[in-house]
Structure 1
Amino acid sequence: MDIKFNNAPKATSFVVLTNDKLQILNYDTDITKQYPVLSKYLEFSSSFKGKEGEIEVVSHMHKEKLVFILLAGLGEMEKISNLTFQKAGHTISSHIKKLKLQAVQLSARMDIVNINKDVWVANCAYGIMSGQYCFEKYKSEKESINTCLYLDGIEDTTPLDHLKAINNGTVFAKDCVHTPPNDLYPKLYAAKVQQEFKGLENVKISVLSENSMKKLGMNALLGVGQGSGHESILLTVQYKGTDNPKDAPVAFVGKGVTFDTGGISIKPAHNMHKMKYDMAGSAAVLGAIKSLATRKAKVHAVGVVGLVENMPGHNAQRPGDIVKTMSSKTVEILNTDAEGRLVLADALWYTQSKFSPKIMIDLATLTGAVIVSLGSTYAGCFGNDTTIIKQLEEAGEQTEQKVWHMPLHKDYDDLMKSTVADIANISETRPGAAGAATAAQFLQHFVGETKWAHLDIAGVALESGAVNAKGYGVALLDKLVELFYEDTNNQPVKKTVEKKSKVKIKEQEKK
């Protein structure tokens, strides 16, 4: 989607926002004089009430050209927030796609409630941009069109630039999740990341090969990928947006199983094609780092992702094998389909020992048990530090990427006792019991003294009941950094556009 900061050509379709009293919020009364059909529709329509989420398309012939008025409701004035505008934008976007509109105008003539017009326009535009996403790389005939969004009345582009960066990071994450596994095995994934980050300032990318990981003793991660013909990789993307060389980073760690057959403990054939999505945690991490780097966030952040393919080859890891992790703790493999925690065990230990981060957060499509617990509304959130968990909860509420605090307890260690190793990778005595919690408890053994949280995103990585990636985690992590870890004393200079003549604001009352 292209964005331009000026008036759209004449007879361009445009957006009108109202509250539940049918007051027009983004235009003065002149818009109803120019388009009388709009005034009549608001007066006589029985279907549109201006409630949050409502949208109507009003068509009108204007000077022999068909114009569509996208009439969107925001609901009660006192409940309008940034998320209200994002959701309205997303709904508007779906109608833009249905109508195949090549140009749409969104005008901002006033603040709405207490939200500055540059901020609410940015959030509405962000919703429209995110709703335009369509993965068509492998289709011979493309269905989407490139719509131009004209933003009229915006003065400071800083809020929009921030949200555009998040959208770019989210699009990258979604693209990675949707890419088929024959085009995204670890080596190709790493190459894709290097290409995507090319040109971004203060970014350093490093790749650990299997030989390098062997020297570090990362046998848990390596064991998962040893049945595949594709080499496993540990990829690190470091972004330094602060001037202090001693500033400890915030660290994000992602599970990147590019395809998960389950290994020797093979999965059922039904829906196995969806196991290309088992790298969604790594995509979220990389998308978040891209967002931070794109908007030049004043933070030191590092993303570490373990990239493997879990296949039942002749050299595949077996149930009953024992591996020695980078931490020196030994793990008995009871089920090769509990592989994500093995990848993360070494990735987490590597991250905390190499970077000594302020905090460390991992994201993984780790268990089906978390879907049973929380469905597709919340990610399961576990951790050893209540402050981080509260911060994630706040960031989640502000981005609609919600988390729910789940328990860790030493009693869960009893479920993973092994008679031949330090720990087993699943419970043998009570299979399936507290599945999400025991997986998180397992990970806690590999974080050292670092403040840490684990997000099990198995239920929220995809749209509910669909196979479309959400890009969950990108906006969440960006908001976490913005609220709690960014240097607010050294922010970028505001970017402005040429100011237009101010419009006198008049409240449009329903007649």
Structure 2
Amino acid sequence: MPLSPYLLLPRASYGQGLSAVTPARADAEPASPDRAGATAAPATQDAQLLAVPFGADLAPEIDLPLPAAGLLAHYAATGAAGEVVEVPVANGDTVGRVLLYGVGDGSATDLRKAGAAVARRGKDKDAIRVVLPEGPVAAFVEGALLATYTFRVGVAKSTPTVIEFVGDGAETEAEVARGDVVARAVALARDLANMPSSVKTPAWLAERAAEQGVTAKVWDEEQLRSGKFGGILAVGQGSVSPPRLIQLSYEPEGATRHVVLVGKGITYDTGGLSLKRGDSMKFMKTDMAGGAVVIAVLGALASLGVRVRVTGLIAAAENSFSGMAQRPSDVITQYGGRTVEVLNTDAEGRLVMADALAYADAELDPDVMVDIATLTGAISIALGKDLGAVFASDDDLAAELAEAAESTGERIWRMPLIDDYTPALDSTVADLANIEAGSTYGAGSITAALFLREFTGKRPWAHLDIAGVGRSSADEGIFSKGATGYGVRLLLEWLSSR
């Protein structure tokens, strides 16, 4: 994973060996996974930076030029989350540096922000030693690790910074391990979404999904045809890379509840014959971000001890254009027999997901279904780039997801399912149209959600539209330019709490 490796050190020794000299690591062995799936790192000779939360007692070896309180007052430091005051300290004949960092109100949101700020200050260093704050340590670890995320095809630019977390006790150890599992699941989702589509075909995505340590089943194009998955086939027929339906199954002993997660897996989206503009097409390698989230979530459930049975469905296809591509005005038959008039081939995500939802309803008998997709540009206009959307047929489910979103900082806003808008999807030649047919409503994200609802069999269901939050344009906080992995932390928290 492209995150910094880390160690957990005892608190008693955190001030020892602080140095401004780059440690010699020529003999260090590469990081390797341990039994829990965390990444262990070779011990560094010295940490180049030491980070300590505001108000913490400093180790006696650390001799600040002024008392900590005086330094903070000098810099007008308030202790806000993400605030960092850098102080030089003497260390023999060298000069080391201490980072005093703010933790805000100590909430998970503020500690996640603090962890990211501290890790970013150490990004160009060989190692940084971080005294853990009090409170929800897992969130701090998530923030620190996610802030170090990089994606690069080929050789990495440099050796990643080793983060040496300092803390004591079994509870702290468990919190650090949880933060690590969650951060690496998010990194996996980012990796999958950031991978160029010249590599990332539906078959490639299915191979990566099968590596997650859960039971995998994959339908190839012939099996999709015999199974009558008309939506996935129609979207994928214009590409030289055939579509796939991927099923991942996590079945812990004693589970009594069954959740199905459905992810949009469009590995590249040209818009098909309803061709996108060039500027809009540049980012379409991440149009399978929802599918990436489902894969990453399924891979992390065992490490977190989730006791719910979870089935993940990823409907994967490349939406391309050719002489074989579907045309506007084509009528397709979705899984289960509903017919759909395709008025816009760039509204393809709902076609592949409709097959997966209908299959889940007919064959898997879930207690609840949640889908996640970069589905509509309209949601970005409605909510911007910082809020995901949730549409839900069940108030309790919507409330549970909102609570998980608040806890993880992956904020959502509930959007309405307005039944009066359903006639916008009427077709004169099929059961449904895939977009508003000559409608005056102009509510593209709502009608897209209403389209998906038609295939859920009236089961409790929620739809997460992450088109606005699935990509970041800046390296800031826990995010790096590119895919964000939005939804992994939210869904893991929701499933862990059920």
TM score, norm. by length of structure 2: 0.87
Distance in 2 between residues matched to 1:439 and 1:183, nearest whole Å: 29
State yes or no: 1:285 paired with 2:294. Answer: yes
Structure 1 residue 470 and structure 2 residue 484: aligned? yes
Alignment correspondent of 1:505: none
Structure 1, unaligned runs of 5 or more: 19-23, 486-511
Deviation string, structure 1 residues 119-160 (Cα, Å, up to 9, x no partner): 43x33222111111011233x561452323232334332222
Pick from 57, 60, 63: which aligns with 2:89? 60
Alignment partner, residue 237 of structure 1: 248
Q: Which residue of 2 aligns with 1:451?
A: 460
Measured in 2, the distance between the counterparts of 1:35 and 1:382 equals 53
Residue 3 of structure 1 aligns with an amino acid whose one-letter code is Y
Other structure's SS at 1:160 match: helix
Deviation at 1:216, TM superposition (A): 2.0
Picking from 420, 423, 442, the partner of 1:411 is: 420
What is the rounded CA distance, in whole Å, between the counterparts of 1:428 and 1:474 in structure 2?
34
Q: Does 1:91 align with 2:117?
A: yes
3-state SS, counterpart of residue 216 of structure 2: strand
Report the Cα distance in structure 2 between the residues aligned to 1:275 and 1:431, rounded to whole angstroms: 28
CA drift of 1:73 comes to: 1.4
Instruction: After TM superposition, list the pairs within 5 Å mapping 1:21-36 onto structure 2.
Output: 24=55, 27-28=56-57, 30-31=59-60, 34-36=63-65
Pairwise CA RMSD: 2.0
Counterparts in 2 of 1:303-318, with a 5 A limit? Answer: 303-318=312-327
Structure 1 residue matching 2:283: 3-state secondary structure:
helix
SS at match of 2:296: helix
Aligned-pair CA distance for 1:221: 1.4
The reply on whether 1:359 has 2:362 as its aligned counterpart is no
Q: Aligned equivalents of 2:360 and 2:261: distance in 1?
A: 9
Establish whether residue 158 from structure 1 lines up as the match of residue 174 from structure 2. yes
State the 1:43 CA deviation. Answer: 5.4
Distance 1:349 1:327 in 2: 6
Q: What is the SS of the residue equivalent to 1:58?
A: strand
Q: Secondary structure at the match of 2:289?
A: helix
Alignment coverage as a number of residue pairs:
456
Whole-angstrom distance in 2 between the partners of 1:396 and 1:141: 33
Question: Deviation at 1:233?
Answer: 0.3
Distance 1:298 1:4 in 2: 28
| 2:18 is equivalent to residue 15 of structure 1 | no
Is 2:5 aligned against 1:2? Answer: yes
Gap runs ≥5 in structure 2:
19-46, 476-480
1:52-78 CA-to-partner distances (Å, cap 9, x unmatched) read: 331122222311233221221123xxx
Q: Which has the higher contact order (CA 8 A, sep 6+)?
A: 1
CA contact (8 A) 1:134 1:144 kept: no
Q: What do the CA deviations read for 1:311-335 (whole angstroms, capped 9, x no partner)?
A: 0011000001000111211000100
Partner of 2:493: 479
1:82 corresponds to 2:118: no
The offset of 1:167, in angstroms, is 1.1
Instruction: Quote the Cα distance in structure 1 between the aligned partners of 2:198 and 2:67.
Output: 52
Instruction: Indicate whether 1:132 and 2:132 are aligned.
Output: no
Rate the CA distance shift 1:288–1:352 in 2: closer, same or farther, 3 A: same
Letter of the 1:171 counterpart: A
SS of match in other structure, 2:302: helix
Q: Is contact 1:376-1:464 (8 Å) kept?
A: no
Deviation sequence 1:340-381 (CA, Å, 0-9, x none): 000110011112222111111000000000000000121111
Q: Distance in 2 between matches of 1:46 and 1:168?
A: 35
Q: 1:435 corresponds to which letter in structure 2?
A: G
Q: What does 1:389-404 correspond to in 2, within 5 Å?
A: 389-404=398-413
Inter-CA distance 158–368: structure 2 relative to 1 (3 Å threshold): same
Amino acid at match of 2:17: K
Aligned to 2:26: none
After the TM superposition, which of the residue ranges 433-442 and 459-468 deviates more from structure 2? 459-468
Instruction: Provide closer, same or farther for how the CA distance between residues 317 and 31 of structure 1 changes in structure 2, counting only shifts above 3 A.
Output: farther
Matched letter for residue 343 of structure 2: L
Match of 1:145 in 2: 160
Tell me if the contact between 2:258 and 2:310 (Cα under 8 Å) persists in the aligned partners.
yes
Q: Which amino acid aligns with 1:367?
A: T
How far 1:31 moved relative to its partner?
4.9
8 Å CA contact retained: 2:251, 2:310: yes
Q: Which residue matches 2:224?
A: 213
CA distance in structure 2 between the aligned counterparts of 1:293 and 1:281, rounded to whole angstroms: 20
